[in-house]
Amino acid sequence: APGQAPAAGPAAKVCVACRTGRIDPDGYCENCGHAQPRERDHTEQELDAVAAVSDRGLRHHRNEDAFAVSAAALPDGSPAVVAIVCDGVSSATRPDEASAAAATAANEALLDALPRGTHPQQAMHEAIVAAAESVNLLAADPDQGPEHDPHRHTNAPACTLVGAIVASGLLVVGWVGDSRVYWVPDDRTAPPARLTEDDSWAAQMVAAGLMNEAEAYADERAHAITGWLGADAYELEPHTASFKPDRPGVVVVCTDGLWNYAEAAHEMALAAPADAAARPLHCAQVLVGHALDGGGHDNVTVAVLPFAVPEQGAGSAYGTA
């Protein structure tokens, strides 16, 4: 609610709902059971060339998404802009910790690799591996170490990850799970595109030719993910791809809390404001609002990276892989 304290920290002694109950260590009122607002309920960040917004949504008691946005200088001095978005798996333990750990680890890995001249697609692959390792560590018993915990792989903390890098005329995406990247050109008469393929039951059915997309996504099993980061995951298979857009636009990196309300690329393009490239934070705010207006059934997180085509003669330091 407007005017409400942004977080329930150590100084928050009474419940924001009943105003009488004390708050337990998990953030719930001991009197009425109301979940207290957390710092992550709504977060926004804006840099010069990227912005992100994350919101708890209207149905979940906490925000289990996380993001990291940053910029680095390549060896030639040109900028590389990074956005990482993670979605905690709600059925697992401590999904909010998993998403935060993964976003931080991936971002730090990229900020280390890109200035050293690592190709962005290779850097993205390594960042996903680093993120997976950080989530795996959450399953370890902090007192005994991972090798002594018999329950380490039982309902371990888990999350999805999707990321994008804009560097030297190249757009690199990487993912594990069902969070997505969309390409929305400034010229809305040009076709938008989805740049990732979900690790999900529905996507597997479509890929195998057993169902068409409409049938698969209408099934109650549609959103069951088949790839994730976590100690109980199958063998890690980071997906990466690189693109060289021939026109300016924006890259939309998001969790399913957004794309459930704008699933097709043309729907995402319609939801994004026309001045998205000039005002990425406003675009991210509008897209989060689109999900909340649609029902806000999940946490919703979106990062928006403007993409400018390099001037003629400048070229790209990288070829597409």
Distance CA 233, CA 259 (A): 24
Minimum mean pLDDT among 144-153, 230-239, 303-312: which range?
144-153
pTM, two decimal places: 0.85
Minimum mean pLDDT among 130-139, 153-162, 275-284, 295-304: which range?
153-162
Distance CA 124, CA 140 (A): 25
Stretch 185-195: mean pLDDT: 96
Stretch 231-260: mean pLDDT: 96
Residue boundaries of the structural domains of the chain: 1-37, 41-307
Q: What residue type is assigned to position 263 of the chain? A: E
**Contact between 23 and 35 (Cβ < 8 Å):** no
Higher pLDDT, 222 or 287: 287
Higher pLDDT, 11 or 183: 183
Percentage of the chain modeled with pLDDT above 90: 74
* Cα 216 → chain centroid: 23
Task: For residue range 24-59, list pLDDT tens digits in order.
Answer: 887 788 888 877 777 889 999 999 999 999 999 988
Q: Just give the CATH number of 41-307.
A: 3.60.40.10
**Cα angle for residues 127, 222, 100 (degrees, 5° grid):** 30
Strand blocks (E) in 177-317: 180-185, 193-194, 229-230, 239-243, 249-254, 300-307
Task: For residue range 52-74, list pLDDT tens digits in order.
Answer: 999 999 888 899 999 999 999 99
Distance CA 65, CA 89 (A): 9
Q: What residue type is assigned to position 299 of the chain? A: N
Query: Residue 6: what pLDDT?
Result: 40
